Amino acid sequence: MSDSRVITGVEKTEIPETTALKDFLSLIKIGIVNSNLITTFTGLWLAIVFTDKHFFQSLDIVFLALVGSGLIMAGSCALNNYIDRDIDQIMHSKRARPTVTGKISAGKVLALGLSFVIIGLILLFMTSITAGVIGIIGVFSYVVLYTMWSKRLFVSNTIIGSIPGAVPPLIGWAAVDPHLHTVAWIIFILMFIWQPPHFYALAMKRCEEYRAAGIPMLPVVKGFKTTKNHMVVWVACLLPLPFFLFSLGLPFVILATAFNIGWLVLGLYGYKMKDDLKWAKLMFVYSLNYLTILFVAMVILTLIR
C-alpha cells in the first residue's frame, strides 16, 4: 500500500512508517489501556485494604482482574477503531491508525476486538459476578452508547463516554469485594467528573479535525467560550469529593483538595489568556497529572498509614 494518501477534508499528508507492534498498540489505544489499568489497580488495592485481605494472598484475583480489564479495554478500543474507520481517515491526528492505513484489515480488527472482549469478560467473571457485569456495562457504554450512537449525533457525547471511563476502579474493587464500598462509588464519581474537562481540552485542540469529520463536540457546536464555562463547572464539581474520602487519610484529602483548587484556578485563568489553544493544552496536561498523581497517592498513602 502507498505510504501516503489523500485525507478527505485535510491536506495530503505523509503516513509515518510504523512497525507491526506499533500498529497493534495504536489499534488497542495502549495509552488509554495503561491509564485505565492504573485506576483498576487502585480499586483492587483499596478493596484489599478495606476488607483486611492480604495482597500477596490475592494475587490470583489481582491477575485475573488486571488481565481481564486490560483485554476488555483493548478489545473495546479496537472495536472503536473498527467503527470509526470512516471518520478517522478525515482526522489528521488519527491518520496513522492501522484501520486508516489499511495495514490491518477491518475483518481482523473486528475479530480481535470481539475476542479480547469475550476473553476479558470471562476472566472478570472468574473473580466475581459483579465485576463481570460491570465489565459488560463498560463495554456496552463505550462501544454502543458512545461510539455507535451518541458520538456522531449529540454534543453530550463526551458525558455519555465518561461512563465507561469511570468503571475501571469499580471493576477492580468488585473483583475483590462484590459489595461495593461507598469509597468505590466516590472514586467512580471522581472519574466521571474528571473526564469532561479532560476531553473538552483535547477537543479544543482538535476542534477543526472534529468539525471536518462532522463530530458534534462541544467546541465545534458551542464554541470555545461555552466550552471554557463547561470545563470550569465540571472542575468545580470535584471540590467536595475529597471530603467523602477521609477513610483514605487526611494527607490524601489535603492533596486532592490542593489539586482540585489548582485545577480550578487554572480553569479560571483561561478567561484571561488570549491563546485558547495554549490554555487548552495546559488544562489537558494538568488533567493527566491530576489523575496519575491522585490514584498513585491512594495506593501509597494507604500503604504507609
DSSP line for the chain: --SEEPPTTS--EEPPP--HHHHHHHHTTHHHHHHHHHHHHHHHHHHHHHTT--TGGGHHHHHHHHHHHHHHHHHHHHHHHHHTHHHHTT-GGGTTSHHHHTSS-HHHHHHHHHHHHHHHHHHHHTT-HHHHHHHHHHHHIIIIIIIIIITTT-TTHHHHHHHHHHSHHHHHHHHH-SS--HHHHHHHHHHHHHHHHHHHHHHHHTHHHHHHHT---HHHHHHHHHHHHHHHHHHHTTTTGGGG-GGG-HHHHHHHHHHHHHHHHHHHHTTT-S-HHHHHHHHHHHHHHHHHHHHHHHHHHHHH-
Highest average pLDDT, of 4-8, 19-23, 60-64, comes from: 60-64
pLDDT of 95 reads 85
Query: Cell 489499511 appears where?
Result: 102
pLDDT of 305 reads 67
pLDDT of 299 reads 95
pLDDT of 16 reads 63
Is the Cβ–Cβ distance between 147 and 84 less than 8 Å? yes
Is 90 exceeded by the pLDDT of residue 288? yes
Show me where the domains of the chain are located.
18-180, 182-305
Is 50 exceeded by the pLDDT of residue 3? no
Is 50 exceeded by the pLDDT of residue 12? no
Residues counted in the chain? 305
Query: Cell 492505513 appears where?
Result: 101
User: What is the average per-residue pLDDT within 100-107?
Assistant: 93
The whole-angstrom separation of Cα 78 and Cα 283 is: 27
The whole-angstrom separation of Cα 115 and Cα 108 is: 10
User: What is the average per-residue pLDDT within 7-11?
Assistant: 39
Q: Give the alpha-carbon dihedral of 88, 91, 95, 101, to 10 degrees.
A: 40
How much of the chain exceeds pLDDT 90, in percent? 90
40: Cα within 13 Å, side-chain hemisphere: 29
The model's pLDDT over 247-280, given as tens digits with 9 standing for 90+, comes to 999 999 999 999 999 999 999 999 999 999 999 9
Give domain 18-180's CATH superfamily: UbiA prenyltransferase (1.10.357.140)
Q: Nearest 5 degrees, angle CA 250-CA 297-CA 74?
A: 140
The whole-angstrom separation of Cα 147 and Cα 133 is: 20
Question: What are phi and psi for residue 272, nearest 5 degrees?
Answer: -95, -30
User: What is the average per-residue pLDDT within 39-59?
Assistant: 95
